[in-house]
Amino acid sequence: MLHAGLVSITFRQLEPARIVALAQEARLTSIEWGGDVHAPPCDERRARQLATMTCDAGLQVSAYGSYYRLREETEEEAPFEAVLATALALGAPLIRVWAGAAGPDATPPEERERIVERARRVCAMANAEQVGVAFEFHRNTLTETSAMASHLLQELAAATVYWQPRNGWLPQENLLALDAVSPWLGNAHCFHWWPTARDRLALRAGQRHWRLYLDRLATLPGERHVSLEFVQDNSPEQFLRDAATLRAWLARYA
């Protein structure tokens, strides 16, 4: 089953209470709280407040969108222990992480091995608390392509991956990428930027693309959240229109 949600970083400029109110007005199911602004690691009190606020609005926390990168930890970055504690305070069933800070071609073999070992460690820590770990499907990481993401996930077994369409790719290219990672698929992020990342369009303009993607997502077993991430002009009004579009599309699979 597919659930309509919101990624909080869509509105980095808004306070959490306003984001919750928008998600509630849009009749969404869930919020993925981002770790850069709204739910920073090491602030468990704030995370508990967000959890209560979300639940009181009749919404679920779909995930903790952390910006934890699987690389050598620095003093400026919160350790994974703090990320996990924040996710637990949020009541998040899933933590989004990033597979390093460079693409496969720019990552030396020894660094890739270190990333894999760190991934095993954080997966074990999270899984011990009944929390999943999912990689961001993103350029400049080891999950930059579906082939490399699949290879990494085969090695780890305990992790999943997000999916979103790649800017500039044709729908069939994105479907091939979706098929490649589907055995490990967690949630999906939903937006329509076409043909480049500078061209943020209303979601309804992507109907031809997204009907294909949702048809494929609906065939996969289990439940997942399809969460709106970014909207045209960062507009709350456009978000409400996009949410109505997404809910109408998902109603076909209910």
What are residue 214's phi and psi, to 5 degrees?
Answer: -70, -35
Summarize the confidence of residues 164-184 as an average pLDDT: 95
In this prediction, residues 205-221 reach a mean pLDDT of 98
Whether this prediction's pTM lies above 0.95 is answered by yes
What counts of helices (H) and strands (E) characterise the chain? 8, 8
Determine contact, residues 35/86, Cβ cutoff 8 Å: yes
Cα–Cα distance measured from residue 89 to residue 54, given in angstroms and rounded to the nearest whole number: 12
2: pLDDT strictly greater than 70: yes
Handedness of CA 206, 207, 213, 218 (dihedral sign): positive
Q: Would you tell me the crossing angle of helices 44-56 and 80-90 to the nearest 10 degrees? A: 30
State the pLDDT confidence band at 201, using cuts at 50, 70 and 90. Answer: very high
- Please tell me the predicted confidence (pLDDT) of residue 77: 82
70-79, 121-130, 164-173: segment of lowest average pLDDT: 70-79
Domains belonging to the chain, first-starting first, are 2-253 (3.20.20.150)
Q: Please answer whether residues 122 and 158 qualify as being in contact, where contact means their C-beta atoms are separated by less than 8 angstroms.
A: no
Least confident span in 129-133, 145-149, 234-238: 145-149
Residues 6+ apart with CB under 8 A from 93: 61, 62, 63, 130, 131, 132
Residue 218 has pLDDT above 80, yes or no: yes
Query: Quick one: average pLDDT of 138-165?
Result: 93
Predicted local distance difference test score (pLDDT) of residue 167: 86
pLDDT digits (tens, 9 = 90+) for 62-104: 999 999 999 877 666 899 999 999 999 999 999 999 999 999 9
CB 251 within 8 Å of CB 31:
no
Q: What integer is the mean pLDDT of 181-195?
A: 96
